[in-house]
Amino acid sequence: MRRSTSTAVVTGGAGFVGSWLCQRLLADGHEVWCIDSLVTGRRDNIAHLLPDPCFTFVEADVCEPFDVPGDVDLVLHLASPASPVHYLRMPIETLQVGSTGTTNALDLAERKQARFLMASTSEVYGDPLEHPQRETYWGNVNPVGPRSVYDEAKRFSEALTTAYRDHRGVDTVIARLFNTYGPRMAHQDGRVVPTFVHQALLGEPLTVAGDGSQTRSLCFVEDTVEGLLRLAASGERGPVNIGNDRELTVLEIAEVVKEITGSDSPIEFIDLPTDDPKVRRPDISRAEELLGWRPRTPVRDGLSRTVAWMAAERAEAASA
Ligand code: UDP
């Protein structure tokens, strides 16, 4: 017996944010189709969902046209490498998923007459000259810099989503996600939180890029998912920033991780990557007004949960 009230397709559903989204959609009583190539997504992220009769996993690359049987109410398009380490290693693939992959996901929404949510990013603001970043800001992206493969792929995705809305009548909405963290981020993901936690748990030096004065604003994944689902359920077209407006320097993030893990790892300063944004903090007043949403999880609580999860993963791997 299916208990579902509606059907959602999540591209990138075996990724970090995607897997939390699938889990929450199932808990809310939806039928979920998870499409993932497992290039950066992981089967482990969704292993606990596979026995659910309302959950179907399809291993497929969204750069190839894809379909699901029956009605679909909502397409949530998250498929893309998202860590700088990953997209710098897969530059062409990242541009392809942002262009061809987004086209295929929008075509699915059009065929099914489903609502479409584009998971875009704060990277569309580049190295921002406006701070905090409001949705009205057009951004400061270097179109030929190394990060452009991700930034421009997402900017193209936003343009494509807008064109499908205005010229094809697809019911679309754009979310701009800011740095999200939490359990299920892969240890070798390369992003700042799993890297620092991994290093602290091993007693290795925490590799702070530059002088660590650059800022990021960390949003716990369950808060991000709540924001995305509220946005999907609204009639809004976006873009809407989904992130935490509590801003920390990278050095502060390193210090909090050291404190939570009780690690005496030293700080090691490494080269700042090219075009690394100097500041990043969302203005979330639009999300607050339109969706009644703001993040609930204090950074220390979210980081403690992330540390506990990563420590348990390590213990499990060691005993296996
Ligand atoms: N960073 C760092 N050490 C690391 C990994 C990242 O200092 O081992 C810095 C990175 O240079 C950036 C910030 O942490 O300033 C966030 O990087 P991340 O890769 O998590 O994502 P971004 O926000 O740059 O997309």
pLDDT tens digits, residue range 167-180? 999 999 999 999 99
Tell whether ligand 1 has an atom less than 6 A from the beta carbon of residue 209.
yes
> With a 6 A CB cut-off, is 203 part of the ligand 1 pocket?
no
**Ligand 1 geometric centre to CA of 317 (Å):** 26
Query: Does the beta carbon of 213 lie inside 6 Å of ligand 1?
Result: no
Choose the catalytic residue: 87, 125, 150, 164. Answer: 150
Question: How remote is the CA of residue 316 from the centroid of ligand 1, in Å?
Answer: 27
Q: Which of 94, 125, 179, 216 to mutate to test the pocket of ligand 1 (most atoms within 8 A of CB)?
A: 216
Question: What are the tens digits of pLDDT across the range 307-320?
Answer: 999 999 988 888 88
Residue nearest to ligand 1 atom 3, measured at CA: 208
pLDDT at 187 (0 to 100)? 84
CB atoms within 10 A of CB 139: 16
Q: How far is the CA of 274 from the centre of ligand 1 (A)?
A: 11
All residues at 6 or more sequence positions from 36 whose CB lies less than 8 Å from its CB, including other chains? 11, 12, 13, 14, 15, 18, 46, 57, 58, 59, 60, 79
Q: How confident is the model at residue 103 (pLDDT cuts 50, 70, 90)?
A: very high
The residue whose CA has the least distance to atom 1 of ligand 1 is 192
For residue 1, the model assigns a pLDDT of 42
Task: Tokens for 164, please give them.
Answer: 């499908």
Domains of the chain as residue ranges with CATH? 7-180+219-244+281-297 (3.40.50.720)
Active site residue 181: no
Whether the CB-CB separation of 261 and 201 falls below 8 Å is answered with yes
Q: Please give the mean pLDDT across all residues of the chain.
A: 96
Q: Which two tokens stand for residue 227?
A: 């924001």
Q: How far is the CA of 107 from the centre of ligand 1 (A)?
A: 34
218 C-beta closer than 6 A to ligand 1: no
